[in-house]
Amino acid sequence: MSLRILRPGLLTTVQDQGRHGYQRVGLCPGGAMDPVSLALANALVGNAPDEAALEITVIGPELAFEREALVAVCGAEFDSAFPHNRPVLAPKGTRFNLGRAKRGARAYLAVAGGFAVEPVLGRRSTYLPGRFGGFEGRALKHGDVLPLRDKRAARRFSTLKNTRDGTVRWSAPPLTLPDREPILVHVIEGQHFASFDSGSQRAFFDTVWSVAPDSNRMGFRLSGPPLGRPQADEILSGPTCLGSVQVPPSGVPIALMADHQTTGGYPRIAEIASADVARLAQLAPGGKVHFARCSLEIAGELRRDARERLESALRGIAWEYQRK
Amino acid sequence: MPLGDSAAYVEFSTTLDLEVNSVVQRLALAILKLKVPWVRDVVPALGGVALHVDLDNAELPGNPLEAALAIVNDSMKAALAAKEDAGREVELPVCYEPEFALDLPEVAKKAGLAPAEVVHRHAAAEYRVLMMGFAPGHAYMGGLDAKLTVPRRASPRAIVPAGSVAIANEQTVVYPYAISGGWNVIGRTPMVLFDANRARPSLLWPGDRVRFRVITRDKFAELAAKT
């Protein structure tokens, strides 16, 4: 009565939209690296936007459905034939291997009704460094069996218009995938921007940075020229946020991602505009990015545009769910 | 100042100042009490306070960062009027025996004190949680005896055991998990600093006043068996 993991893939975890309110005791919100694609996947199967789904990273898992389920895969495109960006009624016994990511790095697999894993501190996200949340606080592995909460996949599917062969003839738009690389990511100058030498300030914006192989859910290390400060004084530790770009003494910038530290002692050269974090999260190691300076006003506009695109897509999906 | 487009950071001091931090702690509590629906996190840091904003909240004002700054300003009066030491008192049992005090000989040498004197001075002081971070439940505490001011280790340890009590510069910390770290380990507590399944997941919270109580290795074993 559940989803069986035959092969786990590179890193498959249960994630929702994250736990908020604990940053003052050092716990970051965590949650999906690409919350936009998670919201789309949830909408496609009729879930609330913050329901927990599987976050699948670069190499997909092989899965078997031990009962009928309504499934949607959004975010990165993987090379399997399993339809992306649309609701799919997977009959009992359905088995598929998602393969490798062709475009983007992270896909979200949502099932109607969500996974029956216990919330921890109110949420179902897996926080890997603290080994809690999600499925036993860890990445999925061979033989894991995730119970599904909902038994009415077929009924939910039957409320969709225009269905054929267990799916639909339309698809939701991918909103966070790169059309080409390097992707352009907007940043706001960080608290310590002015303390970097002018060459480093220029290099930060002129360089096509490459996501280093040792990047993870905590942070993306960016390969490029080392950045430096003329007075390499220690700064007083202060708060960080999702998208802070820290520069440790090595000069290698680190963009803080979902499982970031909540405070830090390294100078912050920039913060990534919140509208662009999900797009950065879709870069696999080796992916290319360059940064453009923006004002708070522009960041606000980018955010409103991104939300409008998401809400428009969600409205389209909701319309398809109204009874014929 | 902005901390990206989803948070604001108000910094009162660029150096460590316990008086300033005491105001920061009271300010953070005053802001939390307001229960502003679009403020997700209020994070007291060493020299200032950060407000993280929920950009998708229906009640979000048109200029969230300005509104966040206004909240900080409005709360300042309440913070300054508040009684000092808003935090609770917490006592942590610590065993300073050699098997746990990995860097005690080194610290004693650098400080020019006998190891027993280092332990005595560390356990005699009252500390306050100035900021949390690095890991969940990881508290940076001020109030360290000036004689115990030593720099961080030249090379960080790949794994510092969970519960390790360590010092560096003018602060003391307790490692909540087995993680890498460069602070000088001088003891270990059997207590679990962070447990997501507890109603109050963290043992220490910003502003708490903390004392370390010296325990024997037998007592350590006894308490460790209970946790």
Q: Specify the pLDDT at position B156.
A: 86
Residue A1 confidence (pLDDT) above 80: no
Assigned CATH for A183-293: 2.40.100.10
The pLDDT, as a whole number, for residue B84 is 64
pLDDT at B105 (0 to 100): 96
- Which residues in chain B have their CB less than 8 angstroms from residue A235's CB? 14
Report the residue from A23, A238, A272 with minimal CB separation from B52.
Answer: A23
Per-residue pLDDT, A292 = 98
The per-residue pLDDT for A277 is 98
Q: Which of B81, B98, B126 corresponds to the end of one domain?
A: B81
- Stretch A167-192: mean pLDDT: 95
Instruction: Tell which of A124, A187, A236, A259 to mutate to test the B interface (max B CBs under 10 Å).
Output: A236
Cβ neighbours of B2 in A, within 8 Å: 188, 271, 296
User: What is the ipTM score, two decimals?
Assistant: 0.94
Partner-chain residue, chosen from B3, B14, B137, that has the shortest CB–CB distance to A25: B137
Domain finish residue from B52, B81, B110: B81
Low-confidence ranges of chain B (pLDDT < 50): none
Which pLDDT band holds residue A241 (cuts at 50, 70, 90)?
very high
Report the 3 state secondary structure along chain A: CEEEEEECCCEEEEECCCCCCCHHHCCCCCCCCCHHHHHHHHHHCCCCCCCCEEEEECECCEEEECCCEEEEEEEEEECCCCCCCCCEEECCCCEEECCEEEEEEEEEEEECCCECCCCECCECCCECCCCECCCCCCCCCCCCEEEECCCCHHHHHHCCCCEECCEECCCCCCCCCCCCCCEEEEEEECCCHHHCCHHHHHHHHHCCEEECCCCCCCEEEEECCCCCCCCCCCCCCEECCCCEEECCCCCCCEEECCCCCCEECCCEEEEECHHHHHHHHCCCCCCEEEEEECCHHHHHHHHHHHHHHHHHHHHHHHHHHCCC
Q: Are B113 and B201 within one domain?
A: yes
- Whether residues B95 and B146 share a domain: the answer is yes
| Domain encompassing residue B190 | 89-226
Judgement on whether residues B210 and B129 belong to the same structural domain of the protein: yes
pLDDT at residue A293 in the model: 97
B50 shares its domain with B97: no
* One domain, residues B69 and B145: no
Q: Is residue B193 part of a domain?
A: yes
Domain assignment present for residue B109? The answer is yes
Range list for CATH 2.40.100.10 in chain A: 183-293
Domains of chain B: total: 2
Provide the whole-model pTM: 0.95
The answer, yes or no, to whether residue A324 has pLDDT greater than 60, is no
Q: What is the pLDDT of residue B87?
A: 81
In chain A, which among 229-268 make CB contacts under 8 A with chain B? Answer: 235-244, 261-264
| B196 contacts A121? CB cut-off 8 A | yes
User: Any idea what the CATH number is for the domain that residue B113 is in?
Assistant: 2.40.100.10
